[in-house]
Amino acid sequence: DAGVIQSPRHEVTEMGQEVTLRCKPISGHDYLFWYRQTMMRGLELLIYFNNNVPIDDSGMPEDRFSAKMPNASFSTLKIQPSEPRDSAVYFCASSFTSGSKNIQYFGAGTRLSVL
Amino acid sequence: DAKTTQPTSMDCAEGRAANLPCNHSTISGNEYVYWYRQIHSQGPQYIIHGLKNNETNEMASLIITEDRKSSTLILPHATLRDTAVYYCIVRVAGTTDSWGKLQFGAGTQVVVTP
């Protein structure tokens, strides 16, 4: 398996533009997570899905952020409109239910720069 | 989930064992200890987890004290590729509401030197 695939790897945009980050989880995994990492706040969980259904979106910073998972093999995180403070590395991760285990497999991340 | 305390940084000589401590004095009986690491510019990577018994896999060993208030991750023969930030995370297993949440702290920056 190729692992969790995120695209694009780098995104540079201007303030006010819409940004869409994409994630393809590992086949067979039933959980998908979106994280954001900054120097100031570290690694933060934004939202996660179970079987394509959003379970907890309490980490989503504000209404400008939205996430969807239309099927088991694809998810998007959208920021509209984007602001400079959204600049960060965004990670997607997936895992599968297996007893006590919660092993999350992370993608390589998308580095977002909002100018 | 219980909070964890880790040293900010530590150095280790290549080829030697690296012992990474983690304090989780408020851990509950149903909470597991997980370790992840993040190599620069990469996503975090799972290393190992345990409940109360010591665990070993191909990457590392996890030693949990009898009272479960602290643990140590051991990298038996550190290499330069082990330079990374190591995160100790405590979380409940098997609870639907919180199953997915991994709360990452600041971690320990480990630098392996030649």
Interface contact B46-A93, CB threshold 8 A: no
Residues from B contacting A (CB-CB < 8 Å) are 32, 34, 36, 38, 42-46, 49, 51, 91, 93-94, 97, 99-106
Q: Tokens 């400008």 sit at which residue?
A: A64
Q: Residue A100 pLDDT more than 90?
A: no
Interface contact B44-A100, CB threshold 8 A: no
A3 touches chain B (CB under 8 A): no
DSSP for B48-101? EEESSS-EE-SS-EEEE-TTSSEEEEEETT--GGG-EEEEEEEEESS-TTTTT-
How many CB pairs below 8 Å do chains A and B form together?
60
pLDDT tens column, A21-37:
999 999 999 999 999 99
Distance between CA atoms of A56 and A42, rounded to whole angstroms? 19
Q: Is B12 helix (H, G, I), strand (E, B) or coil?
A: strand
Two structure tokens written together for A93 = 């991760």
Closest CB from A43, A56, A107 relative to B100: A56
Distance between CA atoms of B67 and B56, rounded to whole angstroms? 19
Distance between CA atoms of A23 and A33, rounded to whole angstroms? 10
Interface contact B46-A104, CB threshold 8 A: yes
Find out whether A51 and A101 touch, Cβ atoms under 8 Å.
no
A45 touches chain B (CB under 8 A): yes
A48 touches chain B (CB under 8 A): yes
**CA-based nearest residue in chain A for residue B106:** A42
Instruction: Provide the residue-wise pLDDT of chain B in tens; the chain has 114 residues.
Output: 668 999 999 999 999 999 999 999 999 888 889 999 999 989 999 999 999 989 999 999 999 999 999 999 999 999 999 999 999 998 876 555 556 678 889 999 999 999
Interface contact A45-B101, CB threshold 8 A: yes
Q: B43: closest CA among A15, A5, A30?
A: A5
